[in-house]
Copies of this chain bind each other. A is one copy, B any other.
Amino acid sequence: MNSEPAASADPGLFDKVVNLCKRRGFVYPSAEIYGGFRSTYDYGPLGVLLLRNVKDAWWRSMVQLRHDVVGLDAAILSPPAVWEASGHLKNFTDPLVDCRNCRERFRLDKLDDPHTCPNCGKHDTFTEARQFNLMFKTYAGPVEGKGAEVYLRPETAQGMFINFKNVLETSRKRPPFGIAQVGKSFRNEITPGNFVFRTREFEQMEMEYFVPPDEAEKWYQYWCQERLDWYRSLGMPDDRLRLRPHDADELSHYSSGTSDVEFLFPWGWDELEGIANRGDYDLTAHAKASGERLEYFDQAANERYVPHVIEPAAGATRTAMAFLMAAYDEEEVEREGTGKGESRVVLRFHPRIAPYKVAVLPLSKKVELQAPAREVLSLVQPHWMADYDETQAIGRRYRRQDELGTPLCVTVDFDTLDDRAVTVRDRDSMAQERVPIDGLVDYLRPRLDGE
């Protein structure tokens, strides 16, 4: 959509987007009336639609349009046994140090100078590093203490592994097949930041694809390509998207290959999604810890094996933000009907991602326009998420819809009363076309639902 070259990061974009997110109701700081709650965010009327569209587009592509992937929705609260087997209780940690002088606490691996406190400036005041687990812990039942601990999942993936056997037995799928899940995860990040990019509460879109061991490499390559194509198909420009294979020293000990889908954020290239060849690590670990056989018996080959796993794991919230940043554009235009120049901000969202697909705008607040405007609205609403706005001059309302990224505006004017037609205005070209009300849905369908 955004056709300008953008090969380098644009630091100025960050503030513009954060500002627009608040002003237009995409993202609010959480509990803002109480001074906010550090690095937690609420998604407003526009943001919740954007986020839903991203998640729905993922689900559609990963579950609905395939016959080899089924969905799952596992619990967020989970017992220690799961995280002991997965290794999270032991290894999902950051190294923390305290300054003995000012008592501030830091992540050792994030310090520019591991000898000097960035808060008070003293040298060699740090305690020994201790490992801090990033999982949120709470207690279920009436007694706090040993045996009642539960953890908020730090990733959705384990839900798929521990349900592998259940899904295999009830779904009639066999390798290669996948289990997909969209849902919230929680990590007690010591240094959250970059707006919604790294937050303690976030939403994931993960899929575990179980394959015969000798097909793992093939499917790893397949999913790298497939996932990259998904972002492109929704309008992510090529020059702000890349697939970066991990170097050998970045790989987990169990992974024989991992690649990140990266987006060029205002602060540089950063991760949207990781695609990992996890081998049989997860199923074997849970089989060992639980005593269950987490295997597949191939009747044709009379062979039993532990499937290998290819995992495309994306962040929904950061992906939504990447789509918004990629869509952001400013340009000089002529204000409709005035001949005057002005600058506009426009979010050039792909129609599938755009929060509102259509805005219905009566030209004025005059009472005779209300009935036809409401009629048009109720024709459109069963098919698409629509906004309705009768305030302000029409030019200002177009500007507002541009900032929301609404692909098409439908204006009901006084001619409508005679000709039963409306003006459809295109967000990107700003071209206007007269369309009969009775043919409106058919006119909109290919423009909004076309792949």
- Residue from the list B45, B70, B79 in contact with A34, Cβ < 8 A: B79
Q: Which residue of B lies closest to A400 (CB)?
A: B172
Asked if B96 contacts A73 (CB within 8 A), the reply is no
Instruction: Evaluate contact between A81 and B31: CB separation under 8 angstroms.
Output: yes
When A76-B184, A162-B34 are in contact, do A70 and B45 touch as well, CB less than 8 Å?
Answer: yes
Considering the chains assembled together, what is the distance between the CA atoms of A385 and B56 in angstroms? 13
Q: How far is the CB of A181 from chain B (nearest CB, A)?
A: 8
Which of B77, B162, B385 makes the CB contact (< 8 A) with A186? B77
CA distance A297 to B44 in the complex (A): 21
- By a CB distance below 8 angstroms, the chain B residues around A71 are 45, 48-49, 52
CB-contact partner of A40 in B35, B44, B77, B292, under 8 A? B77
A3 within 8 Å of B (CB atoms):
no
Cβ of A75 within 8 Å of any chain B Cβ, yes or no, is yes
Distance in angstroms between the alpha carbons of A33 and B42 in the assembled complex: 35
Choose the segment among A133-141, A214-222, A236-244, A324-332 that binds chain B (4+ C-beta atoms closer than 8 Å): A133-141
B388 and A31 form a contact (CB under 8 A): no
A67 CB–B CB distance under 8 Å = yes
Binding site of A, secondary structure by majority: helix, strand, loop or mixed? mixed
Residues of B within 8 A of A138 (CB): 136-138, 152
Contact with B along A70-97 (1 / 0, CB 8 A): 1111111111011001000000000010
Indicate whether A82 sits within 8 Å of B34 (C-beta atoms), given known contacts A72-B45, A73-B48, A143-B105: yes
Which B residue sits closest to A451, measured CB to CB? B382
Residue of B nearest to A35 (CB): B81
Mark the stretch among A163-171, A251-259, A438-446 that contacts chain B.
A163-171
Q: How long is the Cα–Cα vector from A105 to B72 in the complex, in angstroms?
A: 35
A72: B residues at CB distance < 8 A: 42-45, 48
Contacts of A166 on B, CB cut-off 8 Å? 25, 28, 32, 42, 44
Knowing A25-B171, A137-B138, A190-B142 are in contact, say whether A78-B31 is a contact too (CB < 8 A).
Answer: yes
Contact with B along A30-66 (1 / 0, CB 8 A): 1111110110111111111101100000000001110
CB of A270 closer than 8 Å to a CB of B: no
Name the one of B22, B30, B35, B152 contacting A75, with C-beta atoms under 8 angstroms: B30
Contact A381 to B74, CB < 8 A, known contacts A79-B31, A167-B45? no
Q: Do B67 and A388 touch (CB < 8 A)? A: yes
Chain B CB within 8 A of A308 CB: no
Give which listed residue, B22, B38, B40, B73, contacts A43 with CB less than 8 A.
Answer: B73
Within the complex, the shortest CB–CB distance from A184 to chain B, in Å, comes to: 7
Closest chain B residue, CB of each to CB of A105? B142
The reply on A389 being an interface residue by CB < 8 A is: yes
Contact flag A76-B143 (CB < 8 Å), given A28-B163, A382-B65: no
A389 to B290, CA, bound (A): 31
Residues of B within 8 A of A388 (CB): 67
What residues of B have a CB within 8 angstroms of the CB of A30 in the complex? 74-75, 77-78
Given contacts A31-B81, A33-B286, contact A64 B381 (CB under 8 A): yes
Which residue of chain B has the shortest Cβ distance to A29 in the bound complex? B166
A232 in the interface (beta carbon within 8 A): no
Assembly CA distance A65 to B379 (angstroms): 10
Beyond A42-B74, A71-B45, whether A188 also contacts B140 by CB under 8 A is: yes
| B167 engages A25 (CB within 8 Å) | yes
In the complex, how many angstroms separate the beta carbon of A339 from the nearest chain B beta carbon?
Answer: 27
Other A-B pairs, 10, CB within 8 Å; known A25-B167, A43-B73, A138-B152: A30-B77, A32-B162, A40-B78, A44-B70, A44-B171, A45-B72, A52-B71, A67-B377, A77-B186, A141-B190
A-B CB proximity, top 7 nearest: A25-B170, A45-B70, A43-B73, A33-B290, A34-B81, A42-B74, A48-B71
